[in-house]
Chain A
Amino acid sequence: MHSYRTTSIQKVFTYMGLSGLAVLILAGFTASFLKSTGLFIGLGLISIGVIGYTFSSYSGLPAGIKNNGVWHQSLTSRGIVAWVVGVILTAFYVTLYFYPEHLEGLIRLFDPLSEGLSGKKASQWFVYGVLYTLAIVLFGIKFIIKYKHSKYQKYRTYSVIFFQTIFAFLIPEIMARLNGDLPYYDLKSIWPLNYYLFDGYQLDGFLQNGSLGTILLIFGILSTLIITPILTYKFGKRWYCSWVCGCGGLAETAGDPFRQLSDKSLRAWKLERWMIHLILAWVFISTVGVVYSYLLQAPDSYLLGPKIFLISVSLLFSLVVGLILWKRKDWLAKDAQSSAIAISSVILLLLGFFFFSESDRVLFIPSYQIRSAYGFFIGSIFSGVIGTGFYPILGNRVWCRFGCPMAAILGIQQKLFSKFQISTNGGQCISCGNCSAYCEMGIDVRAYAQREEPIKRASCVGCGICSAVCPRGVLRLES
């Protein structure tokens, strides 16, 4: 009904990209088809499709906001195309996580690439890594061209492309080639996002690999306890969520066309605060439980005995929560204080269970089961199937907003002691609503801007799009 139909050149490139996907699928099903050249033809067609589509969409246009027709196009306004894409993406994730045997043909297609990098045969995770990295690179280029007038947008996109290709993709492959026993470790994937960092087999991997392994383990612990709070103090959680993180990287690039779909209701905000903090509590308990049971197996082999470990974790945890409630009482709403106390009490109670029962069971459930339930429901279903599969329906940051325990910790830090905020420019707001509409985290930015208040929200990932789409220059990210 509208004139925002894609042009014929855009269509050609769309079909080219889709045919690339088709080549991969066909080659995957019929291993004889094109063999491994199918891989390069498929990936090549996808790349040409995305890049060609980008140039046919934006080249020759003046620099500026490119949101014409967002709510008129089926893909970006929860139309039929959006549902089709959502279902296909979801099906892919379900297959990848739970039925990888159906991807066998596709995985074998990637063998030459994997052997070239790590010397090993490809796994389903290698295939996923390649496609994931390719998506961030290609849609990152699209994003950079779309926002060519904004250096902030360009720089942070260079950054996520860099961290994805080098840290998440290449370095672990190369490390595997150099030292096959080291755990596969993406250095920028920090606990608790990397919830399996302290699993028994990982700890074995670190501890049995001499000083390099020990250094990596210490780096992992310091990342969470020291490096992260310092960087969040200086820059806000955006340093991670929209400059470094891989989930954020995909959300900001491939997910960019869907940012306006985030739920702005008060209900969603309430749900978000409960969910994300309960998930943080869950990953905390299950990690402590897993480490505790690891130590219990050989109580005398490590410097840290299981009981000492539990006592120090409990003390550190109580200290942090106590400090927050004491020093920042006025910064937290009443319901935030009471839910913080409730969740913390439950955590301490469970730690007490570990301690006095001298087992790693929580109410008779072994902690490894709590940990594997976490991996299943949160690590796989939430972050992958819902978080990414539902981009075209729920928006691009559903995982980051409702599920990510890392975002929860960084959000607490951002709210309590960061220099980061979004300043508003006096009375210039005209309440148009572009800032709120394009906030991927569902923050009602306008509500603050029209009251001339700065925005200091735990969930803000500092993508800076509110500031970019504001037609009156009202918003400025500052730290």
Chain B
Amino acid sequence: MRTRRAARAGQYAALLGYLLFLAFPLLWLLSTALKSPRELGSLHPTWIPRHPTLANVRQAFAEQPLAHAALNSLVVALCTAVVAVLIATPMAYVMARHRSRLTRAATAWVVVSQAFPFVLVIIPLFLVLKNLRLIDSLTGLVLVYVVWALPFALWMLTGHVRAVPAELEEAAAVDGAGRLRTLVSVTAPLLAPGIAATALFAFVTAWNEFFFALVLLKSPQRQTLPVILTHFIGAEGVADLGPLAAAAFLATLPSVAVFALVQRRITGGLLAGAVKS
């Protein structure tokens, strides 16, 4: 009994340590955002600012169009998440349920396509978008992000579809449900955690992406948050640290909020009890 308690305490201690490790960058960012330039130059930095100030937040908003950039990022990230899920879900279903040479080849292509780095594709991509008149357009950026997120989203969702027992669909068919009815009433609810996780992945990928946005958007009024954040950084990596930390901290909040909204879906364990063992 005592051994079990000690083991449990050890597990909690390890979990707490892990959580602190994960939270460290965010907490340090917050601490930095609330410090004055003089405190930032201190030889002995403290976790809790000695003279907390919101001057960095005010300066960040005064110097750069953060709110507008955040709105651009939000629109792009939401569109990316929705479009990626709408395309990936039926594809993943086909790839999981109808296994053939074609689906195996498609899976292999999905894995291979992950290997292309940004710099390799950016110039051809730029030219394609230019011909489509989608340079300096958020629609063009969404298109790129969807294409970029799709392979991994597809791969992720295929795994989730495979985890839904085919017997459930067969049982619904035996009970007289049509194909569409089975998909909508039986499969889709069970796929909800997978769809939520995929949407979250696509959202965070688009929200954080910098390089495509930097290259594809020209007009200041269309720039997204990661691009605007670099305006606090000068040559040779010198940075206006306080406003940069304040803006970067605020930029992490929407991702955290979206994650908080969908995490229950992800961890809901909707499959529990679906099949009698």
A, B in one complex: no
Interface residues of B (CB under 8 A from A): none
Interface residues of A (CB under 8 A from B): none
